[in-house]
Amino acid sequence: MPCNPRKNGFSLVEVLVSVVIVAILAAVLLSVISGVRASNQTAKCRVNIRSILAAVQLYANEHDAVLPLHNRAKDGEVIALWHIDDVAPYLEYTRPKSIDQVSDISDVFRCPADEYFGERSSGSGLSREEISYGYNLHLGKGGKSGDYRLVSMYNVANPSDQVVVADSGHASEDGMVAYVLNPKSGTSGMPFGRHNGMSNIGYLDGHVSLIDPSELDADSDAWYPDR
């Protein structure tokens, strides 16, 4: 008796197995793409910080080795910020007419992994203070009172251990403006783990390290130039 030939097409089990295999392959591919994208963002962020460190060095070279202040004020109003007025000119960047024009701030101050660049905590418009990187307050403390604290590069005990700039959280993320780092303010003043919990941190000798920000204690010598 002749056997019945197999019908054309796939069985339900075969279709389901194929769907599962395709889904697994798609998940693996998306994971790889996501990992590559995150790695590229971290690398670009590191390049940004190296550029900022070089500009800080150039600023100091032209100001008797004195490092930038985090801000400057006149008559109780902030009139200058470290990234716009002190560092940016050494990055071939023209200062905008208004320091509130965050859209005109150089991309060097924007980490590609930063989703909240320029965002105010209130959500009303953009803020020039909410860049991706914070400057160590203890390297040059400004303030509205005019009682500035200037720091010379020559007085920094260990340049290779001295934190200058790092990934910084926004007011909407950790409750503190992003352009300044102040470990004495608690976790809100520390580097922000923007890269899968890790933070790019730039040091005065020009090198950048990707580390877990919890490894930097608020009382660490890395924050204070006179230690």
For the chain, give every domain's residue range. 13-223
Whole-angstrom distance, CA of residue 205 vs CA of residue 12:
64
Which has the closest alpha carbon to 40: 130, 108, 111? 111
User: Which helix or strand (DSSP H or E) is residue 201 part of?
Assistant: strand 199-203
**Binning pLDDT at 50, 70 and 90, where does residue 3 land?**
low
Q: What is the pTM of this model?
A: 0.80
Helical H runs in 131-194? 171-174
The mean per-residue pLDDT over the stretch 153-159 comes to 92
The residue written with tokens 């990187």 in the block is 133
Tokens of 51: 């550029």
pLDDT at position 96? 54
Identify each DSSP E strand in 63-152 by its residue range: 71-74, 77-81, 133-136
Q: Could you give the percent of the chain with pLDDT greater than 70? A: 83
Q: With 80 as the cut, is the pLDDT of residue 213 above it?
A: yes
**Binning pLDDT at 50, 70 and 90, where does residue 127 land?**
confident
**Which of residues 38 and 49 earns the better pLDDT score?**
49
Whole-angstrom distance, CA of residue 180 vs CA of residue 221:
18
CA distances to 115, 138, 155, 216 from 194, in Å: 10, 23, 31, 15
Phi-psi region of 213 (alpha: psi -120 to 50; beta: other; left: phi over 0): alpha
Whole-angstrom distance, CA of residue 190 vs CA of residue 211:
12
DSSP states of 78-117: EEEEIIIIIIGGGGT-PPPSSTT-GGGS-GGG--TT-SST
Whole-angstrom distance, CA of residue 38 vs CA of residue 197:
12
